[in-house]
Amino acid sequence: MTTTYLIDELLVLHGPVTLPEIPGYGPQSPSNALILANPLPAPKAGHVWHLVNGKPKQIEDRRGTVYRLPNGTPESYWRLGPLPADLTTLTRPSDSHIWTNGAWSLDLTQLHAGKVAEVNTACTTGITGGFASSALGTTHRYGSALDDQLNLTGLILSGADSLCSCRDEQGVKAYRPHTATQLRQVGDDFTAFKLVWLHHANSLKQQLDQALANTDRVALEAISWTVPA
């Protein structure tokens, strides 16, 4: 009994298949059919049966998503055969991994740099995310984006009483009257708030530096940003 396979545009064999019979004519073979005396064994992992010079042959099949070296950028690949040397099927685990000896390896220098960048970003986000001051007698929140900092500095340097934007305990934002002394207090409260965050970030970065110096991967991975108390 024969076995039938269908051949696609890349000459990859699919099957075996059972062809329908047409009454009065029997089984009909399409032009892309290959009839063999015996069924083919299952191909090896990562391989397909491919028609080469009219005969089935196993060939590597890495079609699908692959990753461009050295950065691990994903792309689609639709050719048969071994991958080129600058492509891999292995996903890059993180930006801290580099391609060495046919595999992704964790680079402690890259890991350290990424962790430091995370700390710097988190610290900046916290500092510019607003702060509290009781200069008006009750707690109000003040903006601390860069423009807010410049505006507050300008008001303090003017030495005059002025309106200053802030939110009360109900979250209502308004320009409220401040004396020059109250504005200086708001500035002092921001400076103290900012120093807490900078000191915390510096402490974490010193820990990261020490872990890198000790080539301590576990310690590097364990250090992460936390909001200062």
Q: What is the pLDDT of residues 167-223, one digit of tens each?
A: 999 999 999 999 999 999 999 999 999 999 999 999 999 999 999 999 999 999 999
Specify the pLDDT at position 26: 66
Specify the pLDDT at position 168: 97
Q: CA–CA distance from 120 to each of 13, 86, 97, 181, 214 (Å)?
A: 55, 34, 21, 32, 22
DSSP assignment of 129-155 equals: T-EEE-TTSS-EEE--SHHHHHHHHHH
Coil, helix or strand for 163?
A: strand
Range 85-121 burial, b when 16+ CB lie within 10 A, else e: eeebeeebeeebbbbeeeebeebbeebbebbbeebee
Specify the pLDDT at position 163: 98
* Continuous H helices in the chain: 108-127, 146-158, 180-213, 217-222
Parallel, antiparallel or unpaired: strands 131-133 and 140-142: antiparallel
Q: CA–CA distance from 204 to each of 124, 197, 209, 224, 227 (Å)?
A: 14, 11, 9, 8, 11
Q: What is the pTM of this model?
A: 0.64
Q: CA–CA distance from 62 to each of 22, 72, 90, 92, 174 (Å)?
A: 38, 16, 11, 17, 62
pLDDT tens over the chain, length 229 residues: 689 999 999 999 999 998 877 777 766 788 899 999 999 999 999 999 999 999 999 999 999 999 999 999 999 999 999 999 999 999 999 888 999 889 998 899 999 999 999 999 999 999 999 999 999 999 999 999 999 999 999 999 999 999 999 999 999 999 999 999 999 999 999 999 999 999 999 999 999 999 999 999 999 999 999 999 8
Three-state secondary structure string covering 192-209: HHHHHHHHHHHHHHHHHH
Specify the pLDDT at position 131: 98
Query: What is the C-alpha to C-alpha distance for residues 11 and 55, in angstroms, rounded to an integer?
Result: 10
* Residue 125: HSE in the Cβ half-sphere, 13 Å Cα cutoff: 10
Over residues 15-24, the pLDDT tens digits come to: 999 887 777 7
Query: At a CB cut-off of 8 Å and minimum separation 6, what does 72 contact?
Result: 88, 91, 92, 97, 99, 104
